[in-house]
Structure 1
């Protein structure tokens, strides 16, 4: 599958550029050496240094190009593609997927975040018109803002010396490969690797403890305790051991 790739020195957001380029392309990859306003989930900002990390978006025009029916799978494809890419540079046993959209690696004695994934979708009525998958992956950054310094890491901090372009090409290839897979197998692969069914979780606000019983097709969690069952669709509201 040949997908046009547009690279920029600096952009506000690779997701926004991808959305604009989809006006004249069926699908695109957009990368940048730096982005000023990278987005995470729930309006958070994705921060990183210039020329040291990967800022990549994949966009698809849903009106003219065969795409994933279950839109939550775009985010899942991003997580699986990052995991597969990282496993080419570090031991796969060191990599963990964190619900719903983060990738962590074992750095010293604790797991730290190395990548975040965000999918965005535009609709006209009930019909999805564009889907965009954004990925931030820390490659050669050594110093992080004090707010996230204890929680973030990079391939270089793990002792891996690699070129950003090599990691980027591997990531693009993995995204394409996962997009071509059966949707059911993508979801089952993610469920297995997220490894949440049967685990104990704590609700941040109430401090109540639940056990995850099932992961729904929309990515939400079905969890229960002695008092009943709840549905969780926001990973920021729960704490659990990776």
Structure 2
């Protein structure tokens, strides 16, 4: 009940756009007393919201918290289901681990696990992901698509497009995608995507999309071994970026593309992905667990598999590899 009232309060502030809302008006909207309104306002202040109160005008939000909170993510969010259910933690081992647990507890589609810090964040092939506190976006999103099991990797490519679009929309910086799951700016990694699934022999129960994004780190925040290969939105844009705004942008773009995908299939996603891809038409080296393939990246198949043409003209289909451009 309390969380529903809080959601309605934030929806009211969103609709107001920066205008004042009177205590009486809020009380009528929420169906509660003026005293209860004051208590909710105080709870928002404790979370880090800065609210201005003016006599005979009411309240308005003038600043959102430095920390990411579930309430801040609800403010202005216009999705139908992604991000409507947020599981927030200050510090976790891994948001993926929590998301896996929540899928077994029948968490609804679109549930998001988000943390300020990951102590054991990881990327593909179980590599460690550096996740310092209050600087980046460390989250996992639960989807439950009714698609055949072999098509699950397509969701990684879909997520990459959504992330690139969100960054471009909100910062003006144009990232590029390196197959299958890296987002680069000026050749340096800014975001990694880890897609895992819970499935039975013939059906997918859930797909969990883990996203790690460097947002407000400076160069010295990265370990020495990462400083020449990793970057952040702050470094590239030259100014601090609202993490909550980026997250809401990802939610909105991801939901839009996901619904398009479920309705029209992978082709429109494929075309968008290829338009952002850094490797298409270029000489690449694909390193798998057993061997390396050198050749020109020709694009991806309708299933999202990378195609590389070697010097002899043979086309190799690469399902999993590290790519060097």
- TM-score in same-fold range (> 0.5): yes
Q: 1:129 aligned to 2:205?
A: yes
Deviation at 1:121, TM superposition (A): 0.7
Single out whichever of 161-170 and 67-76 deviates more from structure 2.
67-76
Change (3 A) 1:214 1:169: closer
Q: 1:88 aligned to 2:177?
A: no
User: For residues 246 and 155 of structure 2, what CA distance do their matches in structure 1 show?
Assistant: 20
Contact 2:116/2:133 (CA < 8 Å) preserved in 1? yes
Q: Report the count of equivalent residues.
A: 230
Unaligned segments of structure 1, at least 5 residues: none
Change (3 A) 1:154 1:213: closer
Deviation at 1:219, TM superposition (A): 2.2
Greater radius of gyration (CA): 2
Structure with the higher helix share, 1 or 2: 2
Contact 2:178/2:279 (CA < 8 Å) preserved in 1? no
Deviation at 1:214, TM superposition (A): 4.2
Q: CA RMSD in A?
A: 2.2
Secondary structure of 2:169's aligned partner? coil
Q: TM-score, normalised by structure 2?
A: 0.65
Q: 1:98 aligned to 2:174?
A: no
**Structure with the larger RCO, 1 or 2 (CA within 8 Å, 6+ apart):** 1
Structure with the higher strand share, 1 or 2: 1
User: For residues 24 and 225 of structure 1, what CA distance do their matches in structure 2 show?
Assistant: 46
Contact 2:131/2:138 (CA < 8 Å) preserved in 1? no
Unaligned segments of structure 2, at least 5 residues: 1-79
User: For residues 21 and 98 of structure 1, what CA distance do their matches in structure 2 show?
Assistant: 30
Identify the residue that residue 117 of structure 2 maps to in structure 1: 34
Structure 1 segment 1-242 matched on structure 2, within 5 A: 1-2=80-81, 3-22=84-103, 23-27=105-109, 28-60=111-143, 62=144, 66-69=145-148, 70-92=151-173, 94-106=174-186, 111-142=187-218, 143-158=221-236, 159-182=238-261, 183=265, 184-194=267-277, 196-203=279-286, 209-227=294-312, 228-236=314-322, 238-240=323-325
Secondary structure of 1:129's aligned partner? strand
Q: TM-score, normalised by structure 1?
A: 0.85
Secondary structure of 2:122's aligned partner? coil
